[in-house]
Structure 1
Amino acid sequence: MKCSVVRIPTGSPGDVSALRAAVEDGSIDPRDVVAVLGKTEGNGCVNDFTRGYAVRVLSDFFASRIGEDASRISYVMSGGTEGVLSPHLTVISRKSGAAAGAPATGAKSLAIGVRHTRDFLPEEIGRTAQIEAVADAVREAIAEAGIASAADVHFVQIKCPLLTTDAVREAKARGVQVATEDTYKSMGLSRGASALGAAAALGEIDGAALTDEDVCHAWEKYSEVASTSAGSELSCCEVIVFGNSAESEGPFFIDHGVMKDAIDGDALRRLLDAHPGAELVQVLAKAEADPDGVVRGRRHTMLNDSDINHTRHARAVVGGVLAYVSGDPMIYVSGGAEHQGPAGGGSVAAIFKRTE
C-alpha cells in the first residue's frame, strides 16, 4: 500500500476548480482516491446544507472522471470554518498491490482503511447499536489498512448521521422512542456513540460494559484518536482509519496527541518537535467547550450563548490556537468532541511527509 494526502483550497462549497487543476497536473489520480475530508463554510449544525452540497458536487466531479467507481469514495464534510479556519478539501489516495510500486522496506508509513456501517434506524442513533456497529467497522478498516497494532492507529475519522424531525416522526409512527427529540442534541449523541465505538474497537475502553446511558454522560470513557462529525446527508457511519504500517510504503506518516483543553496548543507543538526533519502536511483535530464551563479555572460563556452554538465557539478557539502553532489556517478542525479526548479537550493528529 502507498498512501498520500493533498490539501486543496476551495472558494465555496461547490468549488472544484483547484481540485480539477490538481487532477489535470497529475498531483491527484482520481482512480486512487479513497476519501475526501472537507471543511465547508456553513454553520456546522443540523441545517448546514453546505455539507450535502459539497458531497454532491464532489460525487459528480469524480463520477465524470472514473464513472461508477466513484461511488466507493468516502466524503466526510465538516461544516463550520469560524474564525481563521480556511475552507478546503483533504484528498486521501491509496494505491494497493502492484500499483503501489516498490515493496515496503519495513519502515512504517501512512496506511488508510475505509469502511461503512449499515444504515441506522432513528431509534438506534446515539445508542449501543450504533456503538457496536461502529466498533465492527473500525476493526475491519484497521485490518484492511494492514495496521498490526492499535498503538499504530493515530486518527479515526467517522462521519455519522443525526436525527431530523422527519426521522423522529417516522419512529413515533412505529411506536418506538428515539434517544432525543432535540435534533441538535442528536448530533452530540451520534458523535459520542461513534467515538465510543472507536474506543471499544481500539481497546481504550471495555465495549462490552457500555450502556445507552454512557453516551454523553460517562465522560471518563473516551478515545484519544477518534474524530466524529454528524450530518443529515447520510444514514450510516463512514469510517476512515489513519495509521502507520510496515506493509505500507512512501514518505507520509501520521502521529497524534491529546489536547487537554481548547487552548492546549502544546499538544500539537510536541508533535512538531518530535519530527523535526519532516514536513507538516495536515493537522486534524477536535474542538470542544468544557462541560463544566471553565478553562484552566476561568469561566467561559460558550455553553450559555443562545445566539451561537457552543460547537461553533469551540471550533473558532481551537482553530485559532492550532493555526498559530502550525502557521497555517487551512487545517481540519471539527467541533463537538464528545468522548473524543478528555472532557473539554480533544484528539489532535498531524500528517507528515519525510523529506530525507
Structure 2
Amino acid sequence: MRAHLPAKKSQGPAMPECLVFRVPTRHPADVSGLDALFASGALAPEEVVAVFGKTEGNGCVNDFTRPLAVMALEAALGARVALVMSGGTEGGLSPHLLVVARREGAGGPGTALAVGTAFTDDFLPEEIGRMAQVRATAAAVARAMAAAGLTDPADVHFVQVKCPLLTSARIQEAAARGQDVSTHDTYASMGLSRGASALGIGLALGEIPGEALDDSVIGTRPDLFSGRASASAGIELMRNEVIVLGNAPGWSGPLRIAHRVMRDGIDLPAIQGALAELGLPASGQLPPEAAERVVALLAKAEPTGDGLIRGRRHIMNDDSDINATRHARALVGGVAAAAIGRTDLFVSGGAEHQGPDGGGPVAVIARMNG
C-alpha cells in the first residue's frame, strides 16, 4: 500500500502553462533525471502535477517495478501527485518518465495543452471491477476536467487512469466481511479494473450512455468503449488516480495534443493522423527535427479477441510463455516507434473498453511551430 503524503493544494481558476518533460531512467527507482530538472531550475517540485512512467517489469500482478518507482518518486517530490507507472517495456520500448507540470501565468488568447488531476476515494476490494468504480471514475474525470478548465468534452484528448487490482489478501479481506469480489483470478482483476475505469471515462465524456452500463457489461461488451481512455492497473494503490489532457482556452505555451483511435495494432495511419493534426509530416518516419517536436506519444495496446489481425492469425492469446499484453505492447510500440523515429513512448497494455477490440486510443503531444 502506498504511504499517504500531504495532498497538494487544489488547482485554482487561473489558466497557466502545461509543461511536459521526458526523462530517461536507468532503473525503476532512478529519479536522477527529475532531480536534475529541479537542480537546473527548469522545474520546481511544487509545479509537478503528474508523472507517467514506463518501467521494465512484466506489467502483471507481481510487477513490483511499479511500486518501487512510486516510492522513489514520492520521496523525490515530497508531495502527493498523480503517479501512473505502467509496467512493461517489451520490444524496443525505452523506460522513461513523462513529468507533467503546471506553471502559473497569465494565460493566452487561444488554446493550449491543459492538464487536470483528481482522485477517487480508496475502493473496497468488492468494488473493484464493478459499477462503484465506474461511477467514481466518472465523477473524478469531471473534477479533473474542471481543474483543467475543460468545459467541452470534445476538447479532451486523453484520460489516463491508474487503478487498483485484486490480490489474494484483498480477496480474503473481503470474504472475512462476507463480501464477494468481481473475480478470484487476480490477473483477470486487472482487466476488470481497467475496464470499469475506461467505462467511467466514457460515461463522463458522453461516449457511453449510462443506461447501457451495469456490472454485467464490464469486460464482456467490447462494443462499449471510450476512444480517449487509457487505464493501467497496479498493486501499489487502492484508488483511481485520474489525469485529463486536452486543449483548453486560456492556457499558454507551445504544446498541443491530438488523438486518434487505432482500429488494430498495426494502424499506422491513425498515428499519422494525430501527427498531421499537429502540423507534423504524415508520411514515412518523422525526420529527426520533427521527431524532437514530439514530446510524448501515449497509446493503448491489446490483442484481438478472435486471434486475427485483418484476417491473419496471431498467437498472442495462445502463448503460455509470454503474456498476451506483453506481445501487444511490443507490437504497438514497434509501429509507433517506426512512425516517430524514437522509442521512449508510453505504450500501455490491456485495453479493455479502451478503443475497439484489438485497437486503442493513441495521443500525441507536440510543440507547435511558432
The TM-score range, normalised by the shorter chain, is over 0.9
The match for 2:329 is 315
> How far did residue 79 of structure 1 move?
0.3
One-letter amino acid of the structure 1 residue matched with residue 98 of structure 2: T
8 A Cα contact 1:190 1:230, kept in partner: yes
Counterparts of 2:129 and 2:119, CA distance in 1: 17
Counterparts of 1:276 and 1:171, CA distance in 2: 51
Out of 296, 304, 320, the position equivalent to 1:290 is: 304
> How far did residue 103 of structure 1 move?
3.1
Secondary structure of 1:255's aligned partner: strand
The match for 1:154 is 157
One-letter amino acid of the structure 2 residue matched with residue 74 of structure 1: A
8 A Cα contact 2:112 2:255, kept in partner: yes
1:92 matches 2:100: yes
Q: How do 1:38-187 and structure 2 match up within 5 A? A: 38-63=53-78, 70-71=79-80, 73-95=81-103, 99-100=104-105, 102-105=106-109, 107-187=110-190
> How far did residue 8 of structure 1 move?
0.1
One-letter amino acid of the structure 2 residue matched with residue 346 of structure 1: G
What is the Cα-based RMSD across aligned positions, in Å?
Answer: 1.0
Out of 44, 52, 58, the position equivalent to 1:29 is: 44
List alignment gaps of at least 5 residues for structure 2. 1-15, 281-289
8 A Cα contact 2:257 2:278, kept in partner: no
Counterparts of 2:269 and 2:341, CA distance in 1: 14
One-letter amino acid of the structure 1 residue matched with residue 42 of structure 2: S
The match for 2:198 is 195
> How far did residue 24 of structure 1 move?
1.5
Counterparts of 2:196 and 2:118, CA distance in 1: 17
% identical equivalent positions: 56
> How far did residue 199 of structure 1 move?
0.1
The match for 1:67 is none
One-letter amino acid of the structure 2 residue matched with residue 80 of structure 1: G
Q: How many residue pairs get matched?
A: 344
Counterparts of 2:279 and 2:180, CA distance in 1: 53
> How far did residue 18 of structure 1 move?
1.8
One-letter amino acid of the structure 1 residue matched with residue 64 of structure 2: F
> How far did residue 20 of structure 1 move?
1.6
- Runs of 4+ aligned residues of structure 1 deviating over 4 Å after TM superposition are none
8 A Cα contact 2:24 2:96, kept in partner: yes
Secondary structure of 1:339's aligned partner: coil
The match for 2:3 is none
Higher helix share: 1
> How far did residue 175 of structure 1 move?
1.4
Counterparts of 1:150 and 1:273, CA distance in 2: 22
Summarize deviations over 1:269-308 as a string: whole Å, max 9, x none: 1111222267211100000000111100011111111111
Counterparts of 1:9 and 1:29, CA distance in 2: 18
One-letter amino acid of the structure 1 residue matched with residue 40 of structure 2: D
One-letter amino acid of the structure 1 residue matched with residue 344 of structure 2: M
List alignment gaps of at least 5 residues for structure 1. 64-69
8 A Cα contact 2:164 2:190, kept in partner: yes
